[in-house]
Chains A and B, each alone.
Chain A
Amino acid sequence: KNQVEQSPQSLIILEGKNCTLQCNYTVSPFSNLRWYKQDTGRGPVSLTIMTFSENTKSNGRYTATLDADTKQSSLHITASQLSDSASYICVVSARSGNTPLVFGKGTRLSVIA
């Protein structure tokens, strides 16, 4: 069964600190993995998309890594800001036409002053 598991469920960090969110998946055959940021009361917004051949991709203070062998990904946030408080969702796409994306439940990040 295609699944995406994220950890931790929630995380509280101090402003300025770094953090890493984890994503494990069982989706097959793998096409690409995305990280989305979802602010409270808003729709998800894409941060990164990585295909099988990409190990790392950055978007400002966000850096995603992908290990397609172990089927793991991480999202590292550097020098966190209060505006980083949001849910971060890992989404995996299978390489088969119109197969739906598989969404993780998300990690709820709270950055406090």
Chain B
Amino acid sequence: NAGVTQTPKFRILKIGQSMTLQCTQDMNHNYMYWYRQDPGMGLKLIYYSVGAGITDKGEVPNGYNVSRSTTEDFPLRLELAAPSQTSVYFCASSYPPGQYSYEQYFGPGTRLTVT
């Protein structure tokens, strides 16, 4: 299993540009998540999905959109990029909460700089 994969690894955007961060998992997990990690800060949840066709906002959803058309894929869309969105973005997946072994598996991250 490849686990959770993310592309691209790095990206530089100009203010106002848009882009999509890709995330794919091959563990057949229902739950998928997008986090951002700012320097010296804990991870913050942007959006999550409990299954194909179902998404919900996390703590910091403004400026982002997501879709979940398949179990495997959970892309994160940035519209009108702003410097405040400079961060490292992590995608994760898991079995449903409530299962004791509900472990979140993280991808390697995408480092995004908006200038």
Residues of A within 8 A of B (CB): 4, 31, 41-46, 49, 51, 89, 93, 97-98, 100-106
- The answer on a CB contact under 8 Å between B108 and A101 is no
* Given A43-B4, A89-B42, A105-B40, A98-B90 contact (CB < 8 Å): no
Number of interface residues of B (CB under 8 A): 23
How far, in whole Å, are A105 and B103 apart by their CA atoms in the complex?
Answer: 19
Q: Which of B59, B100, B106 contacts A43 (CB 8 A)?
A: B106
Nearest B residue (CB) for A105: B42
* Chain A residue with Cβ nearest B4: A43
**Once bound together, how far apart are the Cα atoms of A100 and B97, in whole Å?**
10
Q: Complex: how many Å from CA A9 to CA B23?
A: 31
Measured CA separation A48–B107 after assembly (Å): 18
The reply to whether B97 and A104 form a contact with Cβ atoms under 8 Å apart is: no
- Mark interface residues in B31-45 (1 if CB within 8 Å of A CB, else 0): 000000000111111
